[in-house]
Structure 1
Amino acid sequence: MRSIIEMTENTAPVITMANVEGGGHGNGGCGGCWWWKKVLDWGEAKIQISFSLPMLLTNVAYYCIPLVSVMFAGHLGEAELAASNLANSWATVTGLSFMVGLSGALETLCGQGYGAKLYRMLGIYLQSSCLISIFFSILISIIWVFTEPILLLLHQDPKISKMSALYIKYLIPGLFAYCLLQNILRFLQTQSIVAPLVIFSLIPLILHIGITYVLVRVTSLAFIGAPIAVSISLWIAVIMLAGYVLFSKRFKVTWNGFSKESFKHVVTCLKLALPSAAMVWWVFLELF
C-alpha cells in the first residue's frame, strides 16, 4: 500500500500557470482555452434557435394584429389614436396578458405528459386549460363592460375614456379567441411543433391588414371597425390552428376528441395556471 501511495505522489501531474494560460499540450495546444469549445457548442445553439425563433416570430405576428388596428384607427384623428392606444393597453394588461399566463400550465402538464409518453393526456389537459381560460374570459369581459367608469376613476380624459370603452366592447369576442389561441399554441409547442406555427400566424396577420383597411377605410364602421377586425382575425387564427390539430395525422395520439375527463383535471390545471397568470400579469402591469 505504501509503494502505491509513493508512486501516486511521484507521478501526480503538477498544475502550473503555464498549463492554465496556454502551455499545456493535452488540450490540443489551446491550453486554458479548451473550455471555450464546450461553451461555444453550436450544435446545441442551433437546436435552441430552431425552437425559439419560430415561436418568437409567431408571438410577434399575433402581437401585431391588435397593433395594426391601432395604427389604422390612429389615422382617423388624434382622439382616435389616443383612445385606441389606451384601449389596447388596457386590454393587454387586464385580459390578453392574463390569458398568456393561464396557458402556461400546459407547458408543464403537456411537457410532462409528452415526456412520459402519456400522449392522450395532452388533449385532456388542453381541454381543461381551455375551460379555465373561457371562464376567466367571461369574468374579464364583465370588467371590460365597465371600462369607462374605471378609466374615469383613474383620472383619464372623459372623451378618450368613452371612446376607449367603445373600442374595448368590440374586442370582447377577440378575447375568447385569444384565450383558445394561446392554449393551442402551448399544446403544439410542447410537442416540438413550432415551424408550422409561423405560417399559421403570418396568414392571419396578412389577412388582418386587408380586413382592417376595408372596415376602417371603406365601410362606415370607421373607428369601431378596428377592434372588430382584431376579433375577426383572431378567430381566423383559432380556426386555422384548430383545423390543423383536428385534421392532421400528427396528432392522432395526442388528440382523441372532446372528453368529459377534462373536467376532472381542471383543478390540477388551475393550481399551475393561476401562479403563472399572476406572474405574467404583474410584469405587464408594471409596464402599463
Structure 2
Amino acid sequence: MLLDPDARGQAGSTAEAIGIENVSMSFQGRQGPVEALRGINLTIPQNRFISIVGRSGCGKSTLLRIISGLIPQSAGTIRVMGRSTQDYQKEKKFGFVFQEASLFPWKTARDNVRLPLDVIGIGTPAERAARADDLLRLTRLEGFADHYPAQLSGGMRQRVSIARALSYEPEILLMDEPFGALDEFTRREMHDELIRIWQTRPVTVVFVTHSLSEALYLSDAIVVMAPRPGRIKAVVPVAHPRLADPDMRHHPDVIAQTRDLERLIHEQ
C-alpha cells in the first residue's frame, strides 16, 4: 500500500523514507510455528507522521522492530532512505522511543540525553553536553537537567527519552506506544509537546498506538492492521492532521473517522 503521494510532509518532500515489500515474519512458538506478519507492503514518504493501530497481537510492534533492524524479517525486503535496514542502521539514523522511558536511574537528565553521543563518540565532551542542553530546552526540561529520573514525573521522563532519541539527529523516529503508561491528562499534554517538537525538527515518525484518538490527533495517515497473521487492512489519510487544537478532538470529521476506524478494526 502506498501512502498518498500528493500529501506532502512538513518539509514538502514525497521522497520515500521507508519502503516495505512483501515482508512476512514467522517464529517457532511453544505449540509450533507462528505467523506474526504476512505480506506487508507499505511506502512511507519522508517527514510524514504515520501511526499504526490494530488489535493486540496484530504485529504492530513486531513490524516496528523489523523496520529498525532489531529483529530480521523471515521474507521480503525493507528499504530505509534507499538502503537496506542493515546498512542504514550502521549510520545511527534511527531513533527509538519505547513505552517505558528506560532511563539510567544513576544518570541525570542531561547525562541520559547525551549517553548515545558518548557511546558513538560524536563531538567533544563539551559539544555533547551543549547538544544535550539544547534538546532539554527543546523538550522544555532545561530546568531539570541535573535531576535524576526518580525526581521527574512520568511525562518528564518520557520527554527525556524523546530528547535522547533525537540526540544523534535521526532521520527516522520509531515510537512504540510511548505514552501508553501515562494518565489521560499527561498523555494529551505529551501529544501537543510531540507535535511542537516535530514541527521544530521534522523527521519521519512511525508511531504504534492502541488509541484511535491519539492516532487521529498526531498523524498524517493511519495504518490499520488486522491480526492472525498480522497484515495491513487499510491506510487511512487523516482529515485534519496535527492541528494541536484540543477542540479538534470533538470535530465531526474526527468523530466520523474514529467510527470508520473502529469498524475497520472490528470487521473480521
Bigger relative CO (Cα 8 Å, ≥ 6 apart): 1
Q: Is TM more than 0.5 here?
A: no
Instruction: Name the structure where strand makes up a greater proportion of residues.
Output: 2
**Normalization by structure 1: what TM-score?**
0.21
Instruction: Name the structure where helix makes up a greater proportion of residues.
Output: 1
Q: Which has the larger radius of gyration?
A: 1
